[in-house]
Amino acid sequence: MRALAPADDLIRYAQQAGHGPWTQLANQGQRLKTLSALGEHTPVLAEARRLLHALEHLPAPDTSSETIDAWNVRENLLDTAG
């Protein structure tokens, strides 16, 4: 989908820039927000659940490689899944 291209680019660029897992997961959450706006609610819910589960296994955020606060990542995913 063309609407997802910017979100997909953001995910790819964050990986290339060496951003940490919290930032990368936040970018995946932003992609889910776009999917939700497109009405793709069932896959959004499934992916949000998967990402929330992944949060439980992430290391503590490293401020040198993260561009977002951990609480913000969790809150945005919960908001998208809700």
Domain ranges for the chain: 2-81
Measured over the CA atoms of residue 68, residue 71, residue 73 and residue 75, the dihedral's sign is negative
> d(Cα 72, Cα 22) in Å, to the nearest integer?
10
Q: In degrees, to the nearest 5, what angle opens at C-alpha 26 toward C-alphas 21 and 27?
A: 100
Give tens-digit pLDDT for 23-48: 999 999 999 999 999 999 999 999 99
**pLDDT attached to residue 82:** 79
Percent of the chain exceeding pLDDT 70 equals 100
| Model pLDDT, residue 7 | 93
Q: Could you read off the pLDDT of 40-82 as tens digits, one per residue?
A: 999 999 999 999 999 999 999 998 999 999 999 999 999 998 7
**Do the beta carbons of residue 26 and residue 72 sit within 8 Å?**
yes
Q: What average pLDDT is seen over the chain? A: 93
